[in-house]
Amino acid sequence: MSRSRSSRLRKVILPAWMVVGDAVFAFAGLSLGFWLRYKTPLRELGLDVPNAQFAAYVPLLLLGVVFLIAGYAQLNLYEERLLLRKYQSLALIIKGTTLWLAGYLALAVVLQFQPPISRLFVPLAYLCIIAVMFVWRSAFYAALIRPSWRHLIRQRVAVLGWNEEARALGVELASQPAHPYQFCGFITLPDEPPPAGAIGTLAHLPEVIVRHQLDILIAARTDLPREQLLQIAEACEREYVEWKVIPSSFQILLSGLRLQTIGRLPVLGIEDLAINKLFNRVLKRFVDVVGATVGLIGSAPIIALLAFIIKRESRDGPVFFSQVRVGSGHRHFTLWKLRSMVPDAPASDGARQSTARNDARLLRIGAFMRRWNLDELPQFWNVLRGDMSLIGPRPERPLHVDRLSSEIAHYLPRHLVKPGMSGWAQVNGLRGESSIAKRIQHDIYYIENWSLWLDLQILLLTFVRWKNAY
């Protein structure tokens, strides 16, 4: 298939199919919600709506479909970059449907629909829509990732230049067969030896673009003469190839990059991240206070029971264990846990970054608590005090922060936000004796991409992902 036809398939045809499919299955979800509310024993709940006929409700269901599709479109659900991104798309569907739930309920109250909309119908329809959309989208993506379709919709990408960033990008693109980008290879500059996977040189860039039918060219190096950069951009423009640059001057916090104008000159720099904006800080703190209050009340009986067991197994030591950690703004605070080790464990703990698997110092109840993160329940108190958040990078001790900040690049920016009881690194199995560098990468990703929805996702995953918990 030609590049123009493939582009039309990605940009027009498949998104149109998705819109039509979403509309059909959204209507099916609304219809299922109607049936559950009015044609099952649930009709006895709430206010009675006599003679609820499906035909009379069809216009209101269609209106709900219109609002739903409009919300999905507003969240950019139908962009081509999401064609092969199943879980990102499903997350947007949940977000859009949740906004629809609030909006449709409010609209039903204000406009007084005729026939009247049952308040119970809307949340039932919400659950039905999510269930039906999950099934439909899962089937759609299962079809798209088949090789016969996948090669038609993936954008063909080459990397210009060779350095560590180019190598890492090539590995990332080549390692995921369901990635929306198909990696074609490297285009080398005059001063570079050809690496494995090289497909040509800068001198033959126009021919390479045509021969490999490239859709995107990503420059890993920008230390080229201005005239040469302009020639590269012009070669891409002639073949309608997207021209992108890896911003090597900014290795972290890329989502905070903004283009400003100072006088008449454009300046690229890092501004406030979403997680540090005033409204988002207030929202996150509100969720922390509510969650920590509920967590403390709900976990109080569990803490009391575990405290009793700890005291029976190890009478000499205290029930609670405290330790100084580094929080937001490099501020020190006291972190609280249920004691999971023998009383003198801290004396031999100075050089340890984390507890080893089957550590001999662990109490029997301590191993159980650590396996299920029960030793961290007292940290709800740290969250309530404002030392920590429910979700964020895990806090470290001052001596480890000093050491790791000199050994690992970009370690300190994790202290731009409050540490958390759980985090993106932890739910991805990066705890215990796992790679510290990978933990930092996940922490930076969280800081850059924070949203309330990401916090909710991490919170839910905390209860089902236990890899390397010990």
Sequential DSSP letters for 221-271: ---S-HHHHHHHHHHHHHTT-EEEE--TT--S-GGGEEEEEETTEEEEEE-
What local confidence, expressed as pLDDT, does residue 109 receive?
64
What's the rounded Cα separation, in Å, for the pair 104 and 90? Answer: 20
**Cβ-count burial of 157 within 10 angstroms (0-12 exposed, 13-18 middle, 19+ buried)?**
buried
Element (H, E) at 156: strand 155-160
What local confidence, expressed as pLDDT, does residue 398 receive?
92
| Residue pLDDT, tens place only, 384-420 | 999 999 999 999 999 889 888 888 877 888 888 999 9
| Residue pLDDT, tens place only, 55-85 | 888 988 998 899 999 999 989 899 888 888 8
What's the rounded Cα separation, in Å, for the pair 199 and 205? Answer: 10
What's the rounded Cα separation, in Å, for the pair 37 and 94? Answer: 21
CB 320 within 8 A of CB 334: no
What local confidence, expressed as pLDDT, does residue 324 receive?
95
438 pLDDT band, cuts 50/70/90, is confident
Task: Calculate the average pLDDT of the chain.
Answer: 84
Per the structure block, which two tokens stand in for 234? 């012009």
Tell me the mean pLDDT in the region 334-349: 81
Per the structure block, which two tokens stand in for 229? 């950069």
* Predicted confidence (pLDDT) at residue 381 exceeds the cutoff of 90: yes
What's the rounded Cα separation, in Å, for the pair 314 and 364? Answer: 10
Tell me the mean pLDDT in the region 194-213: 89
What's the rounded Cα separation, in Å, for the pair 68 and 306? Answer: 47
What's the rounded Cα separation, in Å, for the pair 126 and 119? Answer: 11
Tell me the mean pLDDT in the region 350-355: 58
- Would you call 54 helix, strand, or coil by DSSP? helix
Per the structure block, which two tokens stand in for 183? 């990696």
What's the rounded Cα separation, in Å, for the pair 90 and 3? Answer: 28
DSSP 362: B
* Predicted confidence (pLDDT) at residue 26 exceeds the cutoff of 90: yes
What's the rounded Cα separation, in Å, for the pair 379 and 225? Answer: 55
- Would you call 449 helix, strand, or coil by DSSP? coil
Tell me the mean pLDDT in the region 209-224: 87
Domain ranges of the chain: 3-148, 154-248, 278-462
Give domain 154-248's CATH architecture. 3-Layer(aba) Sandwich (3.40)
Rounded-to-10 torsion of CA 437, 84, 25, 451: 30
Contacts of 207 (CB under 8 A, 6+ apart): 200
Give the residue from 134, 114, 192 showing the smallest Cα distance to 160.
Answer: 192
> Higher pLDDT residue, 99 or 464?
99
| Residue pLDDT, tens place only, 220-261 | 887 788 888 888 888 888 888 888 887 765 566 666 666 665
**Cβ-count burial of 331 within 10 angstroms (0-12 exposed, 13-18 middle, 19+ buried)?**
exposed
Contacts of 101 (CB under 8 A, 6+ apart): 122, 123, 126
Tell me the mean pLDDT in the region 311-325: 90
Sheet containing 198-201: which strands, arranged edge to edge? Answer: 198-201, 181-188, 155-160, 216-219, 242-245
What local confidence, expressed as pLDDT, does residue 270 receive?
63
> Higher pLDDT residue, 215 or 48?
215
| Residue pLDDT, tens place only, 117-168 | 777 888 899 999 999 999 999 999 888 888 778 777 888 899 998 888 888 8
What local confidence, expressed as pLDDT, does residue 262 receive?
55
Contacts of 51 (CB under 8 A, 6+ apart): none
**Cβ-count burial of 237 within 10 angstroms (0-12 exposed, 13-18 middle, 19+ buried)?**
exposed
What local confidence, expressed as pLDDT, does residue 166 receive?
86
Burial 1-35 (b: 16+ CB within 10 A, else e): eebeebbebbeeebbeebeeebbebbbbbbbbbbe
293 pLDDT band, cuts 50/70/90, is very high
> Given the structure tokens 């406009």, which residue do they identify?
111
What's the rounded Cα separation, in Å, for the pair 291 and 452? Answer: 13
CB 55 within 8 A of CB 102: no
The 10 Å Cβ neighbour count of residue 48 is 9
What local confidence, expressed as pLDDT, does residue 171 receive?
85
Per the structure block, which two tokens stand in for 198? 């090289």
Element (H, E) at 277: none
